[in-house]
Structure 1
Amino acid sequence: MGDWSWEWLPSLEEVAAGLPSEVLSAVEKAAADLATVNSMVYLDGVDFQSTGPGIRTHSDPARNLLFEYLTVPRQECISITQVTWLGL
């Protein structure tokens, strides 16, 4: 199991500017959890040779939160590409 990480793609300002800190915290925690899960799914990590799963969606109905992320096994990284929050 590698040292997977997560990032905002292209940047926090582009993806989630203006969201409340509690929403950002929820996204960050979920992204860290997804990185951990994907490190167990893509055991080859940097040596992965197949096509990755593409853009996927994570939802948190309790927080009215949805975000899209890209899993990049060869970089051992989860990239958050879009966040949608419907408010409280």
Structure 2
Amino acid sequence: MTEWTWDYNPSAAYVTEGLPPGVVAEVERLTTELAALGPEAAKVSRPFDREGGLREFDLMRGRGFLSFLAVPRHRCVYVCNAT
């Protein structure tokens, strides 16, 4: 288990506005798993050729996307967008 956490950036209301409760639950479940990876979260999903920066992860079998930042100095995964 890592000491990493996750949070919404800029806020939960901004990121989840208009999303059904089931999608919000899936976003939070996936982000919890990304935080459990710790610094390895900076290598997960697209773009595949580099680590760090804004990452994009498929939601609901490709029906949506989750954009996130893994910030090692904060030990946090920030959810920036969910569509």
Interval of TM-score (by shorter of Structure 1 and Structure 2): 0.7 to 0.9
Amino acid at match of 1:28: E
Structure-1-length-normalised TM-score: 0.74
Q: SS of the counterpart of 1:74?
A: coil
Q: SS of the counterpart of 2:23?
A: helix
Question: What is the Cα-based RMSD across aligned positions, in Å?
Answer: 2.0
In structure 1, runs of 5+ residues without a counterpart are 43-51
Q: How many residues align?
A: 74
Amino acid at match of 1:26: E
Deviation >6 Å, runs of 4+: none
Change (3 A) 1:61 1:25: closer
Q: Deviations over 1:21-75 (max 9, x none)?
A: 10000000000111111x1638xxxxxxxxx701000102436121100010011
Amino acid at match of 1:35: A
Structure-2-length-normalised TM-score: 0.78
Which residue of the partner structure matches residue 6 of structure 1?
6
Which residue of the partner structure matches residue 66 of structure 1?
65
Q: Percent identity?
A: 30
Q: Which has the higher helix share?
A: 1
Computing the radius of gyration from Cα coordinates, the structure with the larger value is: 1
Which residue of the partner structure matches residue 48 of structure 2?
none
